[in-house]
């Protein structure tokens, strides 16, 4: 599903109004959705404190307050500043027939539900004064919080906290999710997220053309590789994985195993002479090839029609490794998945990426975690105004590559600006070697014929789903088989 940034959401609002649903009606629908969620999710709270800000977020709060009172709840409203005269928020505030206390007077009661309608998409600066003090009191008091659109203090555009923010048990947002609902720390501060229909037609999306999605099978499932009955192993896709030295060759084998389990028809580990023995001792279905130098690797890749190459896991960062990466970047028609040490090598010599002749260059997928990203793109990593989506997009454009910026809220970005935020991750993936498995899955899906952006999105989701299914105590060795099961289900659907 598409994700809208706050400007796009305003545009959706405007287009809906142009299509005949007034902004006042949208506000009434939004407030009604909040009241419904309060009833359904917090049935034991007959006392409700609604905190209203000066903008439309506050307007939603006034609508919810009136409906909840009509339904028999004991509702009190507290406001920090009046709405602009003549605005929709002003109109619905005047329809509220109860008292309005000042936010400074508000004292949270742990038995009451707080509906936070102070600030939503319009938050423009850090909370201060009475707002900040009220939010601190609520957090200290520990009462349950239902946030309207966003917990106050969280940026909808980036998920960052502007100074200090409320932590909600549940957040109701409207029409489409915003980046701040899926990017940390916003994701955690939202609690359970409810997406409410407020009467905006999906047709507005044809005009807005958002380029950001929540990652999920709807984005790429039809493009998963499905070999026809007469395919042979090389036509299903041949993946090569570059091995590191004798004592660090396990990472390449994990990537190779993952590529095979994710559907590659053939997988070859390209091993420097020093690592041949440990590789030979561990590999069975996966083939093994000795490569002394970059020329030997390139010859093998060309002759054996390798469709994608994984380089980086456990690879090494010496001169030999640097010349291998430089050489791979000049191979045409073979996709490259560059992870870990390969990213460190690129960071040491940024010219390698920049000087590529783009018309002949291979497709590249870079899979940095935040540390590797900071090495390769230090200026983007240091710019605190950028969201994780912005950083991944700018990096993808600069590198002319697909970038998988990993973490609990992995972002996949393409050089043309398309991006997806992954939301099915699990902390159990934070285990050594898990990234190596991801690189192998990406390579297999590209080798099977998927375009790199779709392959990257699919791999990230499948990898995360595999992690969820294995759960506590998983090791990277468990992930390829679990990913196979996830993919098998998706392909048979």
Q: Report how far residue 352's alpha carbon sits from residue 360's, in angstroms, rounded to the nearest whole number.
A: 14
432 binds, among ligand NAX, ligand ADP, K ion, none (CB under 5 to 8 A by kind): ligand ADP
191 binds, among ligand ADP, ligand NAX, K ion, none (CB under 5 to 8 A by kind): none
Binding mask 117-146 for K ion (x = CB under 5 A): ---x--------------------------
Q: Report how far residue 284's alpha carbon sits from residue 281's, in angstroms, rounded to the nearest whole number.
A: 8
Give the count of residues interacting with K ion (CB under 5 A): 5
Closer of 155 and 434 to ligand ADP (Cβ): 434
Cβ atoms of residues 183 and 18 within 8 Å = no
Cβ atoms of residues 370 and 332 within 8 Å = no
* ∠ Cα 349 354 358 (to 5°): 140
Structure-block tokens of residue 173? 């947002």
Q: Cα 38 to chain center, whole Å?
A: 28
Closer of 120 and 272 to K ion (Cβ): 120
Q: Cα 455 to chain center, whole Å?
A: 15
CB < 8 Å & 24+ apart, contacts of 375-378: 375/343, 375/344, 375/347, 376/343, 376/346, 376/347, 376/350
Cβ atoms of residues 393 and 365 within 8 Å = no
Indicate which single residue of 158, 215, 410, 423 sits in contact with ligand ADP (rule: CB under 6 A).
410
Indicate which single residue of 216, 217, 374, 407 sits in contact with ligand ADP (rule: CB under 6 A).
407
Closer of 145 and 342 to ligand ADP (Cβ): 342
Indicate which single residue of 110, 281, 385, 427 sits in contact with ligand ADP (rule: CB under 6 A).
427
Binding mask 443-472 for ligand ADP (x = CB under 6 A): --------------------x---------
263 binds ligand ADP per the rule CB under 6 A:
no
Residue of minimal Cβ distance to ligand ADP: 435
State in angstroms the smallest separation of the CB of 420 from ligand ADP: 13
Closer of 24 and 430 to ligand NAX (Cβ): 24
487 binds, among K ion, ligand ADP, ligand NAX, none (CB under 5 to 8 A by kind): none
Closer of 425 and 454 to ligand ADP (Cβ): 425
34 binds K ion per the rule CB under 5 A:
no
Cβ atoms of residues 294 and 331 within 8 Å = no
124 binds, among ligand NAX, ligand ADP, K ion, none (CB under 5 to 8 A by kind): ligand NAX
Closer of 231 and 430 to ligand ADP (Cβ): 430
Which of the 8 DSSP states describes residue 255?
Answer: H
152 binds, among K ion, ligand NAX, ligand ADP, none (CB under 5 to 8 A by kind): K ion
State in angstroms the smallest separation of the CB of 290 from ligand ADP: 25
Indicate which single residue of 144, 406, 418, 484 sits in contact with ligand ADP (rule: CB under 6 A).
406
104 binds ligand ADP per the rule CB under 6 A:
no
Cβ atoms of residues 49 and 114 within 8 Å = yes
Strands (DSSP E) found in 120-221: 144-148, 170-174, 192-196, 212-214
Indicate which single residue of 260, 340, 345, 450 sits in contact with ligand ADP (rule: CB under 6 A).
340
The 10 Å CB-count burial string (b at 16+, else e) for 347-373 is beeeebbeebeeeebbbbbbbbbeebb
Cβ atoms of residues 41 and 170 within 8 Å = yes
Cβ atoms of residues 424 and 464 within 8 Å = yes
Binding mask 71-110 for K ion (x = CB under 5 A): ----------------------------------------
Q: From its phi and psi, is residue 417 left (phi > 0), alpha (psi between -120 and 50) or beta?
A: left
Give the number of other Cβ atoms within 10 Å of residue 380's Cβ: 18
Binding site feature residues? 56-60, 116, 120-126, 149, 152, 251, 314, 369, 406-410, 435-436
CA 23 → CA 14, 26, 164, 200, 384, distances in Å? 8, 5, 30, 10, 33
Structure-block tokens of residue 420? 């997806």
Site residues (CB under 6 A) for ligand NAX? 9-10, 12-13, 26-27, 30, 53-60, 119-127, 131, 148-149, 174, 198
Beta bridge partners of 268: 240, 287
Name the strand (E) or helix (H) holding 266: strand 266-271
Closer of 123 and 441 to K ion (Cβ): 123
**Which residues are at the interface with ligand ADP (CB under 6 A)?**
340, 369, 406-408, 410, 425-427, 429-430, 432-436, 438, 463
**Which residues are at the interface with K ion (CB under 5 A)?**
116, 120, 147-148, 152
């Amino acid at each position: 599903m598409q994700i809208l940034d706050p400007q796009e959401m305003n545009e959706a609002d405007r287009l809906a109004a142009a299509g005949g649903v007034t902004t006042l009606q949208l506000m009434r629908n939004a407030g009604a959705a909040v009241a419904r969620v309060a009833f359904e999710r917090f049935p034991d709270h007959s006392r409700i404190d609604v905190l209203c800000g000066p903008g439309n977020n506050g307007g939603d709060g006034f609508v919810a307050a009136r409906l909840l009172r009509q339904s028999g709840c004991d509702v009190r409203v507290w406001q920090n500043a009046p709405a602009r005269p003549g605005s929709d928020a002003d109109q619905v505030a005047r329809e509220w027939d109860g008292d309005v206390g000042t936010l400074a007077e508000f004292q949270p009661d742990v038995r009451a539900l707080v509906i936070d309608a102070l600030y939503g998409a319009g938050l423009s600066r850090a909370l201060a004064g009475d707002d900040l003090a009220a939010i601190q009191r609520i957090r200290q008091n520990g009462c349950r919080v239902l946030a309207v659109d966003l917990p106050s203090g969280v940026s909808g555009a980036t998920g960052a906290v502007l100074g200090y923010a409320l932590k909600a048990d549940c957040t109701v947002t409207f029409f489409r999710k915003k980046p701040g609902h899926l990017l940390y720390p916003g994701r955690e501060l939202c609690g359970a997220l409810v997406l409410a229909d407020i009467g905006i037609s999906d047709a507005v999306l044809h005009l807005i053309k958002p380029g950001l999605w929540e990652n999920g099978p709807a984005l790429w499932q039809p493009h998963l590789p499905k070999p026809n009955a007469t395919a042979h192993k090389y036509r299903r896709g041949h993946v090569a994985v570059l091995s590191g030295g004798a004592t660090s060759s396990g990472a390449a084998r994990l990537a190779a195993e993952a590529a095979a389990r994710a559907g590659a028809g053939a997988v070859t580990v390209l091993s420097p002479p020093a690592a041949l023995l440990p590789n030979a001792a561990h590999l069975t279905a996966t083939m093994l090839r000795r490569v002394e130098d970059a020329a030997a690797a390139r010859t093998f890749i060309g002759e054996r029609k390798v469709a994608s190459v994984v380089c980086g896991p456990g690879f090494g960062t010496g001169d030999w490794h640097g010349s291998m990466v430089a050489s791979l970047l000049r191979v045409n028609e073979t996709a490259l998945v560059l992870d870990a040490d390969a990213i460190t090598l690129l960071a040491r010599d940024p010219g390698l990426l920049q000087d590529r002749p783009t018309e002949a260059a291979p497709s590249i997928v870079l899979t940095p975690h935040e540390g590797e990203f900071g090495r390769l793109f230090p200026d983007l990593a240091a710019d605190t105004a950028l969201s994780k989506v912005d950083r991944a997009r700018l990096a993808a454009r600069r590198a002319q590559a697909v970038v998988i910026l990993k973490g609990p809220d992995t972002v996949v970005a393409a050089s043309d600006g398309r991006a997806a935020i992954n939301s099915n991750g699990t902390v159990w993936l934070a285990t050594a070697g898990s990234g190596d498995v991801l690189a192998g899955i990406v390579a297999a899906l590209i080798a099977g014929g998927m375009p790199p952006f779709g392959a990257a999105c699919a791999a990230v989701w499948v990898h995360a789903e595999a992690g969820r299914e294995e759960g506590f105590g998983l090791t990277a060795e468990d992930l390829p088989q679990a990913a196979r099961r996830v993919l098998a289900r998706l392909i048979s659907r």
